[in-house]
């Protein structure tokens, strides 16, 4: 049985924070960005996605009933195709954030190549 931990495709509001962030930030630092820079309430149950300067990592922050969920993905060879709009916050659907996590350029719907490894060493 394979367990896949992913944001729900049924999410109605996913907020993509466009500027890169310092990836040493934990859930508290990300929640502070949501509240202080975006003026949103991080406890409302929306998902917020952040990336690093190299665009090869994504962190997603989500409040779930009694605590924060932090989803982290790091690509081995490629970069996430982060939307190039001018605003600092972009709204996506749950389906679109999953496409982005799968490696798709959500504007062109072109995926990353799939990688297959036999060992970490």
Give 108's pLDDT tier (boundaries 50, 70, 90). low
pLDDT score of 97 more than 60:
yes
d(CA 53, CA 98): 20
Nearest partner of 55 among 84, 29, 33, judged by Cα: 84
The mean pLDDT of 20-24, rounded to a whole number, is 93
d(CA 33, CA 24): 13
The mean pLDDT of 49-58, rounded to a whole number, is 93
d(CA 116, CA 36): 41
Q: What does the pLDDT read at residue 36?
A: 96
pLDDT score of 2 more than 70:
no
Helix (H) or strand (E) holding 38: none
* Whole-structure pTM value: 0.82
Q: What does the pLDDT read at residue 58?
A: 93
Give 111's pLDDT tier (boundaries 50, 70, 90). low
Q: What number of other Cβ atoms are within 10 A of residue 12's Cβ? A: 10
How far from the centroid of its chain's Cα atoms is residue 63's Cα? 14
Give 66's pLDDT tier (boundaries 50, 70, 90). very high
pLDDT score of 1 more than 60:
no
Q: What does the pLDDT read at residue 98?
A: 84
């Amino acid at each position: 049985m394979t367990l896949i931990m992913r944001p729900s495709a049924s999410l109605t509001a996913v907020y993509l924070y466009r500027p890169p962030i310092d990836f040493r930030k934990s859930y508290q630092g990300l929640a502070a960005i949501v509240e202080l820079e975006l003026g949103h309430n991080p406890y409302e149950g929306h998902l917020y996605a952040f990336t690093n300067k190299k665009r090869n990592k994504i962190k997603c922050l989500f409040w779930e009933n009694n605590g924060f969920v932090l989803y982290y993905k790091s690509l081995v060879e490629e970069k996430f195709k982060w939307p190039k709009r001018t605003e600092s916050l972009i709204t996506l659907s749950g389906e679109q954030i999953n496409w982005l996590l799968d490696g798709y350029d959500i504007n062109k719907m072109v995926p990353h190549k799939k990688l297959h490894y036999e060992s970490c060493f």
